[in-house]
Chain A
Amino acid sequence: MADSLDARRVPQDANSAFRGRQTRGRAQPAVPQGSRNGRISPLMSADPLIQVRDLNKHFRMFRRREGVWGAVQNLFVREYQTVEAVRHATFSIHRGEMVGYIGPNGAGKSTTIKMLTGILVPTSGEIRINGLVPFRQRRQYVKTIGVVFGQRTQLWWDIAVIESFKLLRRIYGVSQEDFDARMKRFDEVLGIRGYLHTPVRKLSLGERMRCDLAAALLHNPPLLFLDEPTIGLDVVAKDHIRQFLRAVNREFQTTILLTTHDLDELCRRILIIDHGRVLFDGQLEDLKQRLLRMKQIKVVLRDRSQISALESVSLSGLELEHVDEMTCRIRFDRTQISTADLIRRILASVEVRDLLIEDESIEEIVKRIYAGEAFQELPAQAGPEQAFGNAD
């Protein structure tokens, strides 16, 4: 395990810009052949890249009293309040996985990422990544990771982007030819050449984010952390960055852990966290399968007179919503009534021009999880392959 620090993936693509990444001739293929496409099943390699066990982080917050008298009191006697930002988090992530870490604001996502990147020291619990303990062996450890914080930049604010890149090249000891090759590749995918000579403060958010992504990947780390990488970006830029991440994960088997609160379908595996607890850990598909309860059918009728007939069909506890005079939306619980049955009943009683069956959106499901509803349903249904972090 300790050896694997320098054990880099040998890229398959001979023209790869990332090819030069052998550090002083110690490169060796560390990834099992089967994992080339970046989708490793947990059964394939025995030791995970990231191992987190019973991780806790408590902050002691100074509670301010109100008013003038309160302010005077604050000077002499301080009241503290303990905030449990992360509670009993346990999970592991394998090489080549791309995992989404999802939760509402203040759920503890960023705190977890900051502990995983060695910035914060855990209150208790264990983190082991690539055989290293991030905060204890920080300088050695951070050479093997790339980090992007959506709300911050690691580039120097007042100097041209290229100057920051040159500095990072020195810090990580990247050779000039690797550097040139990677810069060329980043330009191809992210199109950053145009603003390399602009100071960061003059860049738009989208441009800055592209530069930050390039900066985080300059030393071709086997592990990439992203904290809300698409926050505040427009749809086009978001999509651009998603595609780039997918490509990085596929081409270089870079393990990616990203937090977000918009649920794009970027990651196959997701971890849902709220109030510092891991609520769900599993495949996105599984989550859908298990928690998808509500479905809806949009019905476009042939003419207006059919509306009353449709209303009679939906009497049996279904929600009917009028979109316009010809269109209705019926919401139903698929555990109560099967989709096929319902369609049969609709077709039997009304003349329909068009039918559209929609699943509940993932956002809706996650909203139910946060609300605590879905949470109760989960343990009973959980199969053995699914790990539920402390569903107590």
Chain B
Amino acid sequence: MRRLLEGLAPYAEFGRVGFVNILAFRLRYFTGIITYSLNVTIYYFIWKAIYHPGQSIAGYNMPQMITYVCAGWIIRSFYTNTIDQEMAYEVIEGRIAMDLIKPVSVPWMWISRAMGESAFRLGLLTLPTAFVVAFVFPMQGPASREDLLLFLFATLGSFFLMGAIGVLIGTCAIPLKSILALVRAKQWVIELLSGLLLPMPFFPEKFRAVLAWLPFEHIAYTPLQIYLGKLGRTQALHALAAEWLWVIVLLALAHAWWNHSLRRITIQGG
């Protein structure tokens, strides 16, 4: 147990540095609150234009849909990360060398740093945004206390899914060098396929069947369904199990891909 704690200490410290690092850019977070609130506002008015009073689309009535949008953007401010961008810059500028001279697992280092940043954002971005959004828009509370708990647990899973995806994409910078286009593409694909922009029932049947075999819908759709209380207890637990299974699979893939790519590293300059 003591050895485990000693082994984890550096990663806790990376988390702390991620936290401190962000403090250097406080302003970004105040503008962040505005950006996220703006996103919610846009989708609020879009859905308001689409819905007739009392109408239900794909099983969502209007208050549910507004809550889905609000909660979706609020948790996005927590689970998101910039691992892939930062890794890309490190590889391009050769700073990756300085990570490799440290006796740590580089993928875990990145995820720990992202965790520190997410912890920071939770306090300075997620909660203030939640406060503003809940105050301005007719957002419903969680379906039940248990659902809230499961929802939080699912959101934590979303963080790890995004972390693993970040490392997977970021590592592509080693063979590809310039991946900023890939990073942008990933961002859009995930916003769409995670269910952040549209709940999954809005997708065509066949497409949904394919998506069910992919990890993306667990990022936003799964926690939001739990929040809305749309899943029964067993269904919710199944969804959670599937999500965390994907967490393990993607983390393993991220490590394997990183270890494989290490052999191809070249460092330009200096």
- B270 and A110: CB pair below 8 A? yes
What residues on A are CB-neighbors of B105 within 8 Å? 139
Interface-lining segment among A72-80, A166-174, A327-335: A166-174
- A147 and B270: CB pair below 8 A? no
What residues on B are CB-neighbors of A54 within 8 Å? none
* Given A166-B13, A173-B6, CB of A152 within 8 Å of CB of B24: no
> Complex Cα distance A164/B21, Å?
10
B45: min CB distance to chain A, Å:
38
A199 interfacial by beta-carbon distance below 8 Å: yes
B20 interfacial by beta-carbon distance below 8 Å: yes
B54 interfacial by beta-carbon distance below 8 Å: no
A269: min CB distance to chain B, Å:
24
B104 interfacial by beta-carbon distance below 8 Å: yes
> Complex Cα distance A147/B101, Å?
7
What residues on A are CB-neighbors of B12 within 8 Å? 170
Number of interface residues of A (CB under 8 A): 36
A174: min CB distance to chain B, Å:
11
Q: Which residue of A lies closest to B96 (CB)?
A: A119
* Given A166-B13, A167-B13, A170-B13, CB of A154 within 8 Å of CB of B101: yes
B17 interfacial by beta-carbon distance below 8 Å: yes
* Given A59-B266, A121-B262, A140-B103, CB of A152 within 8 Å of CB of B9: no
- B24 and A149: CB pair below 8 A? no
What residues on B are CB-neighbors of A228 within 8 Å? 270
The number of A-B residue pairs with CB atoms under 8 Å apart is 81
> Complex Cα distance A58/B6, Å?
39
* Given A120-B267, A142-B102, A171-B103, CB of A152 within 8 Å of CB of B17: no
Q: Which residue of B lies closest to A227 (CB)?
A: B270
- A139 and B21: CB pair below 8 A? no
Q: Which residue of A lies closest to B265 (CB)?
A: A120
- A171 and B270: CB pair below 8 A? no
A244 interfacial by beta-carbon distance below 8 Å: no
B98: min CB distance to chain A, Å:
4
Give which listed residue, A59, A110, A118, A164, contacts B101 with CB less than 8 A.
A118
What residues on A are CB-neighbors of B6 within 8 Å? 173
> Complex Cα distance A159/B21, Å?
6
* Given A121-B263, A147-B101, CB of A170 within 8 Å of CB of B95: no
A150 interfacial by beta-carbon distance below 8 Å: yes
A151 interfacial by beta-carbon distance below 8 Å: yes
> Complex Cα distance A114/B100, Å?
10
A193 interfacial by beta-carbon distance below 8 Å: no
- B24 and A158: CB pair below 8 A? yes
Contact with A along B71-114 (1 / 0, CB 8 A): 00000000000000000000000110110111111000000000
Which residue numbers of A lie inside 8 Å of B, CB to CB? 59, 110, 114, 117-121, 135, 138-140, 142-143, 145, 147, 149-154, 156, 158-159, 163-164, 166-167, 170-173, 199, 227-228
Can you list the 4 inter-chain pairs with the closest CB atoms, starting with the nearest? A151-B270, A170-B13, A158-B24, A171-B10
Which residue numbers of B lie inside 8 Å of A, CB to CB? 6, 9-10, 12-14, 16-17, 20-21, 24-25, 94-95, 97-98, 100-105, 262-263, 265-267, 269-270
Interchain residue pairs with CB less than 8 A apart (15): A59-B266, A119-B265, A121-B265, A149-B97, A151-B269, A152-B94, A154-B98, A156-B17, A158-B24, A158-B25, A159-B24, A164-B17, A170-B10, A171-B10, A171-B13
